Amino acid sequence: MNEVTILDDPDLLTSQTLIHKAAAALFRKDLLVARELYTEVLSHTPYNILAYVDRSKTHLELGYPDLAAGDAYRALLLGDAIRETLQGRTLIPGSVDRKVNDGDEGWAIGEQAFITTYSHIRLLSERALGEEHIKKLLKIAVDGMEASALFTLARSLKEARCFMDALTYCKMGLTRYPDASALPQEINFQAETDMIHQLMEQKKEEDPRFKLNPNILFRHGGCRREVYPWNHHEPDRYNAKTVASLNAKMAESSGKVEIRVVNLPILQKRQDPLNKLELSDKVSGSEKQLGVYAKEDIYVGETFFREMSPLTVLSDPEYSRLCEFCAADLGEDYETCEDCWEGDEESGIMWCSVECKKNAIEKYHPALCARDFGWVYRAINASISTSSAHSLLLLKTYATAITLDTHPLELPEVKYLYGVNRVPFYPDYTPSTLERQALPFNFTNQVTRPIQMLQEMDVDIFQPNAVDFFDLWVIQTLWAKFIGVASARVHERTGRTEIAAVHMLYSMFNHSCDPNITWECGGEVNFTGFSRKCGRTSEFNNGVVAVKKGEECFSHYCDISLDYSDRQEHAWGPLGGRCSCSRCLEEEAEVAAELMSDLSIKSK
């Protein structure tokens, strides 16, 4: 029987051919094609450090520094794994050649990455190589790819304005590669460091908040918020069939309202409206979205809509007296999981009913059972930022996708949520500064922590199925949806998020600072007719109509008792821009008039 060697491995051979095609596409700036080819390479050789490095560069050129950072970080993880493998290993070249097809189950990530890199070197060479020769070539290859990954990571984080993280990776580059002359000319960690410092100084001048709190603010950047051109999971939300199926669901929550396609104004992205607007900030026109309309009169004080959340999270389920599935208060009797309950009411997951336990076990609990996520809860509870809630929603979405073996973007609880509209892709289109910053981006929340969460669930993030399910663009798509629609209950005393939830139908209500309905939210959300004049308490049989039949129902995404500028600040995130409801427009004119009169007094 002929011996099988790496030279016969069809996946390696295909991947080698694809890499060449991808590099050619990248060179001629056919960027979407290059991205697709590198992704295909990864489906054949999942531990391919070179494919990650080059896909990262492609993402950067495409204008997605966040996705570039995700790839470069994965390339670094592979580089570290190869080094660890090489450290304790004696290479027997012949056996490596044979072993590739021996069935690679059970191989550690470092070995897989090593074999992939080795085989690329081996394929380029006519003959089997000696151990010393292989080690030398491997070191050169891994060093080169790692330096490139570090540099692209630093540059991507700089582009995404996560300056502190960018500096960390520049520093790592300077430490690992102190001799700049040994690196290719385009890799210059010192020049990049200087440029980042310059940009930080500029930002401090422009916005004094950055002077006061550089460590926090320079970790929060932004990136594009969009339906990526390769995202084939997004439904056509405005299609008559989709709207009809959403309305069938709506009928289970309320007989008084229905979903319709509406035209909403495109919102201004600049936060401070009194600042001079840049030309590129001036957006106008409207876009198609969904909204909810009254089919019959809705009265002030009338609760006309109730919906259970299919996705609810507690900020610390292990130390909470709330049901981990629905967030209701736990009574004396509660349910637990036989496999992870350690008999300790103070630190265990509990459900309020047999039904909640059944739902949790069917949907997501197996992926979380008996695993230690205490570090996630602690990290999240240390912050009062609402993005902590998005990390928890992401964790449960991951667990559901793994348990049900369903792509996260196909899960019904997230599929129909609004994240952003699809726009046509123009290869030469240059997004404005504001478009490039539309989705908040934090390297820890969106890149490193999600990877650690997957590792805690024993997911090998490099496996093709995991890449398909949990690639960074999938996380960013989920993040955009959660930012747009998640609601959170904040603890009165600590100001920290206690519960967060997404509700599919509730998320279809649009916002006004002069709303005609109001809501209360735990695991279940309910809507009640409202008017600023009457509040919500008047009995609906008094007959005060809050929303007339045929009118749109407007909820509120912020506390409407706040003044104009605080409302703007709070509603900006979920609205994705500056609120332009009639109340805000009125109050904006008043604030501007006051400002003008102050200025004229001062100038006299």
Ligand X SMILES: C[S@@+](CC[C@H](N)C(=O)[O-])C[C@H]1O[C@@H](n2cnc3c(N)ncnc32)[C@H](O)[C@@H]1O
By CB under 6 A, is residue 553 in contact with ligand X? no
Residue placing its CB nearer to ligand X in the complex, 446 or 510: 510
By CB under 6 A, is residue 409 in contact with ligand X? no
- H or E stretch at 220: strand 220-223
Q: To the nearest whole angstrom, how small is the minimum distance from the Cβ of residue 480 to ligand X? A: 9
374: which 2 tokens? 């205490």
Residue placing its CB nearer to ligand X in the complex, 267 or 467: 267
352: which 2 tokens? 């309020």
3-state secondary structure of 165: helix
Q: What do you get for the CA distance between the two ends of the chain, in Å?
A: 99
Total residues contacting ligand X by CB under 6 A comes to: 17
Strand 439-442 vs strand 220-223: parallel, antiparallel, or unpaired?
antiparallel
Q: To the nearest whole angstrom, how small is the minimum distance from the Cβ of residue 408 to ligand X? A: 18
Residue placing its CB nearer to ligand X in the complex, 399 or 508: 508
* Inter-residue contact 83 to 138 (CB < 8 Å): no
Which of 182, 181, 178, 210 is CA-nearest to residue 197? 210
Q: To the nearest whole angstrom, how small is the minimum distance from the Cβ of residue 537 to ligand X? A: 25
Which one of 93-101, 125-133, 283-291, 295-303 is the stretch in contact with ligand X (CB under 6 A)?
Answer: 283-291
Residue placing its CB nearer to ligand X in the complex, 55 or 269: 269
* Inter-residue contact 55 to 62 (CB < 8 Å): no
State which of residues 177, 293, 418, 564 lies at the interface with ligand X (CB under 6 A).
418
Binding characters for ligand X, 500-539, by CB under 6 A (x = yes)? -------xx-xxx---------------------------
State which of residues 172, 267, 340, 434 lies at the interface with ligand X (CB under 6 A).
267
Q: What is the amino acid identity at position 259?
A: I
Beta strand residue intervals within 237-341, DSSP E: 257-265, 286-294, 298-299, 303-308, 311-314
DSSP string of 452-506?
HHHHHTT--TTSHHHHHHH-HHHHHHHHHHHHHH-EEEE-TTT--EEEEEE-TTG
Residue placing its CB nearer to ligand X in the complex, 263 or 406: 263
By CB under 6 A, is residue 422 in contact with ligand X? no
State which of residues 9, 567, 576, 584 lies at the interface with ligand X (CB under 6 A).
576
Helices (H) and strands (E) in the chain, counts: 24, 14
By CB under 6 A, is residue 451 in contact with ligand X? no
Q: To the nearest whole angstrom, how small is the minimum distance from the Cβ of residue 49 to ligand X? A: 38
Q: To the nearest whole angstrom, how small is the minimum distance from the Cβ of residue 503 to ligand X? A: 10
3-state secondary structure of 7: helix
Residue placing its CB nearer to ligand X in the complex, 212 or 244: 244
Distance from C-alpha of 584 to C-alpha of 333, rounded to nearest angstrom? 48
Residue placing its CB nearer to ligand X in the complex, 74 or 237: 237
Residue placing its CB nearer to ligand X in the complex, 129 or 420: 420
Residue placing its CB nearer to ligand X in the complex, 58 or 507: 507
Q: What are the Cα distances from residue 194, in Å, to 167, 191, 562?
A: 10, 5, 42
Q: How long is the chain?
A: 604
Binding positions for ligand X, 471-500, rule CB under 6 A: 484-485
Q: To the nearest whole angstrom, how small is the minimum distance from the Cβ of residue 287 to ligand X? A: 8
3-state secondary structure of 417: coil
Q: To the nearest whole angstrom, how small is the minimum distance from the Cβ of residue 120 to ligand X? A: 45
Query: Under 8 Å CB-to-CB from 94, ≥6 apart: which residues?
Result: 128
Q: To the nearest whole angstrom, how small is the minimum distance from the Cβ of residue 418 to ligand X? A: 3
Residue placing its CB nearer to ligand X in the complex, 198 or 286: 286
State which of residues 121, 141, 264, 277 lies at the interface with ligand X (CB under 6 A).
264
State which of residues 575, 578, 584, 588 lies at the interface with ligand X (CB under 6 A).
575
Q: To the nearest whole angstrom, how small is the minimum distance from the Cβ of residue 34 to ligand X? A: 32
Q: To the nearest whole angstrom, how small is the minimum distance from the Cβ of residue 555 to ligand X? A: 8
Phi, psi dihedrals of residue 124, rounded to the nearest 5°: -80, -15
Residue placing its CB nearer to ligand X in the complex, 209 or 282: 282
Residue placing its CB nearer to ligand X in the complex, 315 or 507: 507
- H or E stretch at 529: strand 524-529
Distance from C-alpha of 604 to C-alpha of 601, rounded to nearest angstrom? 5
Which of 305, 307, 306, 308 is CA-nearest to residue 294? 305
Binding positions for ligand X, 159-198, rule CB under 6 A: none
Beta strand residue intervals within 27-103, DSSP E: none
Q: What is the amino acid identity at position 426?
A: Y
Q: To the nearest whole angstrom, how small is the minimum distance from the Cβ of residue 36 to ligand X? A: 29
Q: To the nearest whole angstrom, how small is the minimum distance from the Cβ of residue 286 to ligand X? A: 8
* Inter-residue contact 514 to 533 (CB < 8 Å): no
By CB under 6 A, is residue 283 in contact with ligand X? no
| Binding residues vs ligand X (CB under 6 A) | 264-265, 267, 289-291, 418, 484-485, 507-508, 510-512, 575-576, 581
